Amino acid sequence: MKILALGIGNVMFGDEGVGVHFMKMMSENYEFSSPEHTLTFLDGGTMANHLAPIIANYEYLIVCDCIDANGGLVGDVYFFDFEDAPNAIKWSGSAHEIEMLQTLQMMDLLGDRPKTKIIGIIPKRIEPMSFELSSELQNAVPVMSKVFLKELGELGFTCDKKADYSIADIARKWQEKQF
């Protein structure tokens, strides 16, 4: 099975870039292997609808993005199947021109959406031109990592640690244009 780990967000607006930073951190910190599956990491930025032809080439999708949720607090992490999204989940408040939600819904209409899981986190309000992530989001990264590694483990991947970059390290690398 072809699996896509997709980070969504704008890295120039603080917490809004958490999806991109998180997936980059996981790809830098771990070596993933499976005898039957392939795993690709992708920085989707804010190009949601333009990603549809890429996403359609995969059979399984794990998206990390900002969300909002009724009753949720900054730094709360949610993990759910796209088809069974909790009613409390809202996909509003990001800087994306077209939300990932609309892209996935359009793919549904065409029958092109792969099985989709969402790792969503509630950000602080978007800060103008900042690569730094709030302490609340940085503190939530262990939960996000545990969820992501558990999901890949259940899919049959082995996950070997190869580095120990924090999400703040990854954000600094973006700022310094090291990627």
Q: pLDDT tens, 159-168? A: 999 999 999 9
CATH, residue 148: 3.40.50.1450
CA–CA distance, 90 with 133 (Å, rounded to integer): 21
For the chain, the average pLDDT equals 90
Q: Count the domains in the chain.
A: 1
pLDDT by 10s per residue, the chain, length 179: 999 999 999 888 889 999 999 999 999 999 999 999 999 999 998 887 889 999 999 999 999 999 888 999 999 999 999 998 888 887 665 555 457 888 898 999 989 999 999 999 999 866 677 888 999 999 999 999 999 999 999 999 999 999 999 999 999 987 787 55
User: Residue 82's closest CA among 96, 97, 68, 100?
Assistant: 100
Residue 65: domain span: 2-175
